[in-house]
Amino acid sequence: MEPVVQFDHVTKNYGSQVAVDDLNLSIEAGKFVTLLGPSGCGKSTSLRMLGGFEMPTSGRILLSGKDVTRVPPNKRNVNIVFQDYALFPHMNVAKNIAFGLELKGLDNKSIHRRVSELLELVQLQDYANRLPNELSGGQRQRVALMRALAPDPDVLLLDEPLSALDAKLRQQMQIELKAIQEKTGKTFMFVTHDQEEALTMSDTIVVMNNGRIEQMGDPSTLYGRPGSVFVANFIGETNLLRSTVLGAEGNLTALDWNGITIKADQGGLSPKAGEHLYVVLRPESIHCSATEPTSGNRIKGKIRQRVFKGNHTSLAVEVGDGAVLNTLVHPGDVAQLAGDDIWVGWKPETATVIPDRHAHR
Ligand SMILES: Nc1ncnc2c1ncn2[C@@H]1O[C@H](COP(=O)(O)OP(=O)(O)OP(=O)(O)O)[C@@H](O)[C@H]1O
């Protein structure tokens, strides 16, 4: 199937500043795709170029196979939802949603039908006559979303639309947004610097760094098999163990970490003896116990810090020579306190090796 969006060698410079650097990206129709990265990595610029609000310095942008690089925003079948919603304050909810439909020249009956359908989708049927300032933040967000979806765009662009909401409402809206995307089957292109938000909603996450794609994939792949130190650090909590390869053992690699021999999954690489690599070990993959585990990687250590976090407890365990492993345990599972000895262990296949440099895939 033809991709709905294609960035073809797209570069955007602002003077000598390279905001987006040779971006190549194809997006399948009906997917929730998130551009994720730190401030300044070029994600908003990419979105704005797709919306037609910025012109690439070089390269092409295609929408449903058609080159739209030089097509103005109002002539592209995309719509954008901004962080501040930008609802028309003097128009009621129904009129706000109807706006794009009137521009399109639809007849009154069709407009009415479409507005009712969209209000129902977000359970705002009873709010049609309210003004934006008579709504809660979450309700305003839903109206902004429905206004943008009303004209049936090929792609809906969302630039950090949830960042103005408080943490609880934000989480609720993440679930709702994903549900709306699934119900409508529309392609959503979402921009955020919040990795948790990206993991919650996306079919595909595109991690950007310095105007380039660092890695792209589904959330569980990016979390479980990060391709670079940048991605491992940016997505979730992690232990990065700089190690030296000893040799291959089937799908596993034996490595020396601080004088301790450990094993990890090869992660698609072909590590050579003597090579320096990082082992990515997530805190929740580590088991802590009073007695020595009978299999897998195991190291005796000392609890340096124990922090109660409600539904879990985090333990920082010192394992020789100042090296510390951060672990995450169920509060009832481990009774030991700071200063106590403890064994840490993990299954080799739950850890993976990544190159000791930034990998561009
Ligand atoms: N209009 C502009 N003029 C000059 N430089 C710009 C302009 N817009 C963006 N930039 C620069 O381009 C780079 C990428 O900016 P962009 O807004 O795309 O990043 P971002 O990843 O969306 O960051 P944020 O999350 O902070 O919005 C940044 O270094 C920024 O300073």
The residue whose CA has the least distance to atom 16 of ligand 1 is 42
Cα(50) to centroid(ligand 1), Å: 15
| CA 244 – CA 261 distance, rounded (Å) | 10
| CA 180 to ligand 1 centroid distance, Å | 29
The number of residues making up the chain comes to 361
Please tell me the residue having the least CA distance from ligand 1 atom 10: 19
Instruction: Name the residue with the closest Cα to ligand 1, atom 20.
Output: 40
Nearest-CA residue for atom 11 of ligand 1: 19
Q: Tell me the best of 16, 45, 190 to mutate to test the pocket of ligand 1, counting ligand atoms within 8 Å of each CB and taking the most.
A: 45
In terms of DSSP H, where are the helices of the chain?
43-51, 93-103, 108-121, 137-149, 167-184, 195-201, 219-224, 229-234
Residue 326 Cα distances to 31, 270, 307, angstroms: 35, 27, 11
| Closest listed residue to residue 180, CA positions, set 258, 108, 315, 81 | 81
* Closest C-alpha to ligand 1, atom 5: 14
pLDDT in tens, the chain (361 residues): 789 999 999 999 999 999 999 999 999 999 999 999 999 999 999 999 999 999 999 999 999 999 999 999 989 999 998 776 688 999 999 999 999 899 888 999 999 999 999 999 999 999 999 999 999 888 998 999 999 999 999 999 999 988 878 888 889 989 999 999 999 999 999 999 999 999 999 999 999 999 999 999 999 999 988 999 999 999 989 999 999 999 998 889 999 998 899 999 998 888 899 999 999 999 999 999 999 999 899 999 999 999 998 889 999 999 977 899 999 998 888 888 888 999 999 999 999 999 887 434 3
CA of 54 relative to ligand 1 center, distance in Å: 12
Supply the residue whose CA is at minimum distance from atom 25 of ligand 1: 39
Give nearest CA residue, ligand 1 atom 29: 40
ipTM reported for the complex, 2 dp: 0.93
Domain spans in the chain, listed from the N-terminal domain onward: 233-355
Alpha carbon separation from 231 to 40, 216, 271, 361 (Å, rounded):
16, 10, 20, 11
Domain range 233-355, its CATH number among 3.40.50.2000, 1.10.10.10, 2.40.30.170, 2.40.50.100: 2.40.50.100
Phi, psi angles (nearest 5°) of residue 11: -125, 140
Secondary structure of 117-132 in the HEC alphabet?
Answer: HHHHHCCCHHHCCCCH
- Ligand 1 binding residues, C-beta < 6 A: 14, 17, 19, 37, 39-45, 193
Structure tokens at 227: 């391709």
Other C-beta atoms within 10 Å of 8: how many? 16
- pTM for the structure as a whole: 0.89
User: How far, in Å, is the centroid of ligand 1 from the Cα of 49?
Assistant: 12
Task: From the CA of 54, give the closest atom in ligand 1.
Answer: 1
**Residue 125 phi, psi (nearest 5):** -55, -35
Question: What is the atom index within ligand 1 of the atom nearest the CA of 15?
Answer: 4
